[in-house]
Amino acid sequence: MADVSRESELVDAFRAFATPLISDNLARVPGAVGLRPFHRLSGVMAGRALTVRTRAGDNQFIHRALDLLQPGDVIVVDGGGYEGRALVGEIMTSVAASRGAAGIVIDGAIRDAGAIGRNGFPCFARSAIHLGPYKDGPGAINVPVCVGGMVVSPGDIVVGDEDGVVAFPVDGAAALLVAVRAQEAREAEIMQTIKEKRYQGAYANPPRGTH
């Protein structure tokens, strides 16, 4: 129980930080390219990954995942980047929200973009299209997936905001959090020097031997 509580605290802590801060401290390697928020932005999404892999344009296994999700899960869907059919819309995102999901990330398309855009439930995708999905399968749940070029494993912490989505394993998350907090403090100090007109630039005084 203590481990579960600690993991929950870690997820909550990452809601205080923007994705660029997290990405910088992951060597700027992981990050979903091409996905953007469709919801009404009202803070940072953070949760544990419930992963789904679908065939292009088919959402049968997303429906199955809705029956398995736990409060705080982020449903992460590898739809192969296919944008010709929507994988979720207002109904499915509403079901996910009602069951306590922290958000949904789709490497593919959505529909009902207007309704989703008026809602605060986090929904990230590539695009919107009116064409609906197939519902025949195949697919898989709780397997490693790839969304926007970023590999996400079941249980990874997933964070999303207006700059995009990043994911990382729980192992090492505590150390990552320390690094992110330190960078936030450094950047706050830089912003103060800008405000006070003392900023000299990142390379004003480079280390000796780097000229």
Check whether 191 is labelled as a binding-site residue. Answer: no
Check whether 91 is labelled as a binding-site residue. Answer: yes
Check whether 111 is labelled as a binding-site residue. Answer: yes
Tens place of pLDDT for every residue, the chain, 211 residues? 446 678 889 999 999 999 999 999 998 888 999 999 999 998 999 999 999 999 999 999 999 999 999 999 999 999 999 999 999 999 999 999 999 999 999 999 999 999 999 999 999 999 999 999 999 999 999 999 999 999 999 999 999 999 999 999 999 999 999 999 999 999 999 999 999 988 887 655 544 443 3
User: Where does 2-169 sit in CATH, by number?
Assistant: 3.50.30.40
pLDDT digit string, tens, across residues 42-96: 899 999 999 999 999 999 999 999 999 999 999 999 999 999 999 999 999 999 9
Check whether 9 is labelled as a binding-site residue. Answer: no
Contact in structure between 31 and 23 (CB atoms under 8 Å) = yes
Check whether 196 is labelled as a binding-site residue. Answer: no
The span from the CA of 34 to the CA of 147, in Å, is 9
Check whether 45 is labelled as a binding-site residue. Answer: no
